[in-house]
Amino acid sequence: MKSVQELVNLKKINLLDFDRKGLEAFFVKLGEKSFRATQLLKWIYQEGITDFILMSNFSKALRAYLTEHCCIVAPEIVVEKKAADGVYKWVVQTQCGNRVETVFIPEEGRGTLCVSSQIGCALACTFCSTAQQGFNRNLTTAEIIGQLYMAQHRLGRETKVTNVVMMGMGEPLLNFDNVVAAVNLMMDDFAYGLSKRRVTISTSGVVPAMYRLNELCDASLAVSLHAVTDELRNELVPINKKYPLQELMAVCRENAKLAPRRTVTFEYVMLDGINDSNEDALGLLQLLKTVPAKINLIPFNPFPNSSYRCSSNNRIHAFKTLLNDGGIVTTVRKTRGDDIDAACGQLVGQVNDKSRRHLKLATQSSE
């Protein structure tokens, strides 16, 4: 496989940028049959073949054309770290020189890959380290699906990625088309064939894109909630000012109707003295009473210059008990990979910040 820099130099078409529909259109435009798309998917994602010359069910002329004009290039690993608990964090190089982070979390019977969708993040959630880095651009489909391709090849055949969560750097629904194309590949039977219950798209609440997602993609949905009032959520998750809780709950109800027994996962970071009182737990039960839901409580993971602290274990347990007793299945996410800054909210990468947010934050902190 050619390097990212070689791709930039050659200006070839990266076929990782296409899901099956995209590949079918690509081949039809070449005068080929649309089934070539399925054949190519199997070569790339199931056989691990990236040399077009080896794709024996393609004609010699087609192989020559693809070799001259196309390539198959995933992001490059430039740093690999392994935590004491077995979590891997990979810093990967994109074709524009920026870097993003991908995390693999092994558990008994499953392996979850946390995938990034943007270089930095266009939102400004105050409890998230990624948000402090500012924003550069959306990742391409190739750079998104390439994280899974890269991880699976790095892990080898004995360790499988069984679940993917779009919970890495960035807001997935602000990169809608590329994320959906990548997720389509994750769930395509001729690519990775992951169940819709094993692929999760997380969002901070981009309501119009959530409605569009309901129509086009049946991957599982997770919502970064973190507060039960608009006043507090405006502070923690500023996009709430544009799409407040009433609108967010309405689209979540629509998502839950897509399939029987479907639930929406709500993520709730536990911040000491901010959103962790018994009143907050009871407010959460009230807010979600009309939404089939489950809740992940996330212990806050600190990062430099953050003003927040994590709730105590006793407070988290009491909060969880109130929610479970109220009828909502609630779990506490185990902190994994924090010794290599791979835990939730700690991913930072290397971002050439076009939003200049990091400069604004530095100015504010010095005042």
The pLDDT tens digits for 293-315 are: 999 999 998 877 778 999 999 99
Q: What SS3 class is residue 237?
A: coil
pLDDT number for residue 291: 96
Give the pair of three-digit tokens for residue 284.
């959460």
Whether 48 shows a pLDDT value over 80: the answer reads yes
CA distance 84 to 324: 31
Q: Where are the domains of the chain?
A: 4-71, 76-366
Pinpoint the alpha helices (H) of 197-336. Answer: 207-216, 230-236, 245-256, 278-287, 313-325
Q: For residue 359, what pLDDT is reported?
A: 46
- 128 is a catalytic site residue: no
Annotation says 6 is catalytic: no
The pLDDT of residue 56: 97
CATH number for the region 76-366 comes to 3.20.20.70
What's the CATH number of domain 4-71, 3.30.300.20, 1.10.3720.10, 1.10.150.530, 3.40.190.10? 1.10.150.530
- In 20-140, alpha helices (H): 20-29, 36-41, 60-69
Give me the catalytic one of 24, 76, 101, 267. 101
| 17-47: pLDDT as tens digits | 999 999 999 999 999 999 999 999 999 999 9
DSSP E strands: which ranges in the chain?
13-14, 70-71, 76-82, 88-93, 99-107, 110-114, 118-120, 135-138, 163-166, 199-203, 220-224, 264-270, 293-299, 329-332
Does the fold of domain 76-366 match that of domain 4-71? no
Which position among 71, 125, 128, 344 bears the catalytic label? 344
pLDDT class of 4 with cuts at 50, 70, 90: low
